[in-house]
Structure 1
């Protein structure tokens, strides 16, 4: 007679499952805030890049058509407002609409500081009365910033400049 093969259970015990779930819960608790902050930074960066593209488009169209173009926030696509979290309107001085964007998609509020509420690019590409800066604050620190000078040039600010300008977030 041949002996019966011994059968041994190879599954996980309840204790092993509980330990694995506890470790998973701890790791999730640690990772969730980091992932949320990364997502927020990515949304803010994408929104600022969209604005940067639109600013360059407005300037190049003003030069190409030799007309003054206006960029401003506009809820209805007709009248300008002061809240840059609204959709953006690119139009001529005679209110001929050229572009009306979707609403601002950043996770943090977009702020503008400058001479007037609307940006104007003249036919020669300058923006003499519209110099200023767009910036996004996150936890009282500027994380993204675009600077527009009187010549109409648009640039991203350096991290050091963002730190120096963080008083604007208070």
Structure 2
């Protein structure tokens, strides 16, 4: 008589508690090394985004002034209807509208940009320059305007408009330099 041997059950696949603990520890070490670099990357991307957004809206305002043959202003705005008049209020957003001698013409807002940056991110304009006004020939009225992009008091970028209306942006990474 032939005897059959019982078949063994295959070994269960999976990880032991020790293996899971070691894998978790390695993952935590890798994340602790990568997280600061990721935060710096996000900060650089936010600053670049703000520079490009400001530059494109300034170019739009200048072109609108030339095409419509009227003064066009770009100013910080919280509600999307009125200028806030605050040089440090650019971090909430801005509006572009036709003006005459710094007074809005009607209720027309050509463009409204709302911003939602994390706490600690701000955009400040030059002292005494809460807005920019483009003349019908494309020149910027008044002195040069400087918009500083700041993160937790550090200067991350700058957009400058000179009297001829030319827009220039710079990538920066300087500690301090962002007092309103």
Q: TM tier, shorter chain?
A: 0.7 to 0.9
Counterpart pick for 1:149 among 162, 165, 168: 162
Q: Is the strand fraction higher in 1 or 2?
A: 2
Do the aligned partners of residues 141 and 75 (structure 1) sit closer, same or farther apart at CA in structure 2, a change above 3 Å counting?
closer
Instruction: Show the counterpart of 1:92.
Output: 98
Matching of residues 112-123 of structure 1 within 5 Å: 112-113=125-126, 115-123=128-136
Q: Is the helix fraction higher in 1 or 2?
A: 1
Give the Å deviation of 1:115.
Answer: 4.9
Q: TM-score, normalised by structure 1?
A: 0.81
Matching of residues 21-170 of structure 1 within 5 Å: 21-76=24-79, 77-82=81-86, 83-94=89-100, 95-96=104-105, 97-107=108-118, 108-113=121-126, 115-138=128-151, 140-157=153-170, 159=171, 162=172, 168-169=177-178
d(CA) in 2 for partners of 1:166, 1:25: 30
RMSD between aligned alpha carbons?
Answer: 2.5
SS at match of 1:101: strand
What are the ranges of 5 or more consecutive residues in structure 2 without an aligned counterpart?
Answer: none
> What is the aligned residue count?
166
Q: TM-score, normalised by structure 2?
A: 0.77
Q: Report Cα offsets for 1:81-102 as digits up to 9, x if no partner.
A: 2111233111111524233424
What are the ranges of 5 or more consecutive residues in structure 1 without an aligned counterpart?
Answer: none
